[in-house]
Amino acid sequence: MGKKTKIAIAIAAASAAAWAGSKAISKPQQREGKSALQFDRPIVLAHRGGTHLAPEHTMPAFEKSAQLGVDGFEIDIRLTKDEEIIVFHDATIDRTTDGFGLVAEMTLEEINAFNHGYQFEDLEGNTTFRGQKVDVVTLRELLETYSNMLVSIDIKDAPDTYEGSLMPSKLWRLIEELGVEDRVVVTSFYGEQVDRFNLYAQNRVALGAGESDIRKAFTAFSSQFGHLYHPKVDVFQIPTKSGVVALDSPKFIQFLNDLNIPVHYWTINDLVTMNKLIRNGAKGIITDRPDIAMILLQKYQ
């Protein structure tokens, strides 16, 4: 037996011993189930209210989706200059003839003083709402209007901005004031924002995975050390693919389900993919087309 072969065998033996030792010491720990996520069937969340049915993040969109019977909404939030939390995706507001303005540099009143230039094309190809006055929706208004809905809240303001530094505490105070801890999920692309929010919430609110959480989970799943992964969030709301990495395999979904972490996929707009994901074990579909998703959901009721 050559020297290189002996070294390779020794390394393999050491790796196997390390794996066995870690397996004996570390046991997978399930997340404690959150009330907001306790459903006995797959759920449908209307993405930004259902953006293919009406302008995103507007009351017409939320109302259409609510009438279809969705389980809730997936929304984005930003903080205005006067520290109002509004339901809005972009960092800028289209002020039509007056150009663009940053959300963080305008008060709610100033924002609503302008017509928002929604360029919305309905399912028949008709352009509607352009030039019409549509006020932005505040998070308070949404939560109070749809008091029976699950609302997944995505913090868009970056943690290194002034508005982003305020958002976690502002959001927690609003959730606590309205008593909606059991029907919201708080998530963000910025995992740091979720961590900051949880300093106030102390695990009383369901938390969604940030980019770093997704990366850690998939790395653990792909290795032989999945038993070392201890989740700090309650739900994964993810695309089916990240770059070239597929995130929709039944085994990955089962890996998370075994940790009591449901998986919701976005943004899924066709019936075939929705059905495939649910058969793979997905617990939720986030979609621009809640009208299509609700047809599928009827199979599971």
For the chain, give the DSSP string: --HHHHHHHHHHHHHHHHHHHHHHH----PPPPPGGG--SS-EEEEETTTTTTSSTTSHHHHHHHHHHT-SEEEEEEEE-TT--EEE--SSEEE-GGG-EEEGGGS-HHHHHTS-----EE-TTS-EESTT---PPEEHHHHHHH-TTSEEEEEE-S-TTSHHHHHHHHHHHHHHHHHT-GGGEEEE-SSHHHHHHHHHHHTTSSEEB--HHHHHHHHHHHHSS-GGG-----SBEEE-SEETTEE---HHHHHHHHTTT--EEE-S--SHHHHHHHHHHT--EEEES-HHHHHHHHGGG-
Q: Is the pLDDT of residue 54 over 60?
A: yes
Q: And the tokens for 70?
A: 């969705």
Average of per-residue pLDDT values in the chain = 86
User: What structural domains does the chain harbor?
Assistant: 33-89+136-300 (3.20.20.190)
pLDDT tens-digit readout, 163-219: 999 999 999 999 999 999 999 999 999 999 999 999 999 999 999 999 999 999 999
Question: What is the maximum span of the chain, computed from C-alpha positions, in angstroms?
Answer: 82
For residues 205 and 46, give the distance between their C-alpha atoms in angstroms, rounded to a whole number. 20
Spell 110-119 as b/e; 16+ CB within 10 A means b.
ebbebbbbbe
Phi-psi region of 73 (alpha: psi -120 to 50; beta: other; left: phi over 0): beta
Confidence of residue 41 (pLDDT cuts 50, 70, 90): very high
pLDDT tens-digit readout, 250-259: 999 999 999 9
Confidence of residue 2 (pLDDT cuts 50, 70, 90): low
pLDDT at 116: 60
pLDDT at 93: 79
Chain centroid, CA 227 distance in Å: 25
Q: What are phi and psi of 115, to 5 degrees?
A: -80, 130
Confidence of residue 10 (pLDDT cuts 50, 70, 90): very low
pTM of the model: 0.87
Q: And the tokens for 280?
A: 């793979």
Beta-carbon count within 10 A of 2 CB: 7
pLDDT tens-digit readout, 42-51: 999 999 999 8
How far does the chain reach from its first CA to its final CA, in angstroms?
64
Q: What angle do CA 142, 148, 151 make, to 5 degrees?
A: 50
pLDDT at 5: 52
For residues 33 and 43, give the distance between their C-alpha atoms in angstroms, rounded to a whole number. 16
pLDDT tens-digit readout, 123-170: 666 655 555 667 899 999 999 999 999 999 999 999 999 999 999 999
Beta-carbon count within 10 A of 97 CB: 8
Q: Is the pLDDT of residue 15 over 50?
A: no
pLDDT at 168: 98
pLDDT at 227: 75
pLDDT at 12: 43
Contacts of 118-125 with C-beta under 8 Å, sequence gap 24+, read 118/55, 118/58, 118/94, 120/54, 120/55, 122/53, 123/52, 123/53
Higher pLDDT, residue 296 or 128: 296
